[in-house]
Amino acid sequence: MKIGQLAARANLNASAIRYYEKMGLLPSPHRSGGQRRYPSDALDRVLLIRFAGEMGFTLGEIKLFLSGLRDNAPVGPRWKKLASRKLAEVEQNIARSLKLKALLQGILHCHCASLQVCVQRLSLSPNLRSLSRRTK
């Protein structure tokens, strides 16, 4: 299979496939006249990568658990550890989003004179002091 066909089947660009290879997520396939030829199971691998990506794993993390993944290897402890860490992240994200939702609804339904009053009335100001600077 040529790269374009693989890409079409996985519904992504050929450049993404090359990128995965460069990042070490896909083994470099053998070539015919300089062009990549993929075995058919490469599609599964690509789909698995996309799936993990959709689950919020970074390419680095995916590379980590793929590197220990043989044909029919069992779901290993390394993967389980990564997955439970990711699960915690997802749960945090959910909690945070629920708070956000409540805040937005609160402000949407309020009849305060101004946004600033709203924010104060919802006791958000104290929160504000603790925000940001997260990058340091």
Report helix angle 3-10 to 42-54, nearest 10.
40
Based on the shown chain and the rule CB under 7 A, indicate whether residue 58 belongs to the binding site for DNA.
yes
Taking residues 4 to 43 in sequence order and writing x for each that binds a second copy by CB under 8 A, - otherwise, the string is: ------xxxx--x---------------------------
Which of 32, 40, 123, 132 contacts a second copy by CB under 8 A?
Answer: 132
Distance CA 59, CA 110 (A): 43
Q: How many residues does the chain have?
A: 136
How many whole angstroms separate alpha carbon 95 and alpha carbon 58? 21
Choose the contact partner of 59 out of a second copy, DNA, none; CB within 5 to 8 A by kind: DNA
Tokens of 102: 């409540």
Q: Shortest approach of a second copy to residue 122 CB, angstroms?
A: 10
Contact 49, 69 (CB under 8 A): no
The entry of DNA, a second copy, none near residue 5 (CB within 5 to 8 angstroms by kind) is DNA
Q: Using the rule CB under 7 A, is 15 a contact of DNA?
A: yes
Q: Which stretch binds DNA (CB under 7 A): 65-73, 88-96, 106-114, 128-136?
A: 128-136
Here the contacts of 45-49 (C-beta below 8 Å, separation 24 or greater) are 46/6, 46/10, 46/12, 46/17, 46/20, 47/10, 49/20, 49/25
Please say which residue, 113 or 131, places its beta carbon nearer to DNA: 131
Query: Binding residues for DNA, per CB under 7 A?
Result: 2-5, 7, 12-16, 18-20, 31-36, 53, 58-60, 132-133, 135-136
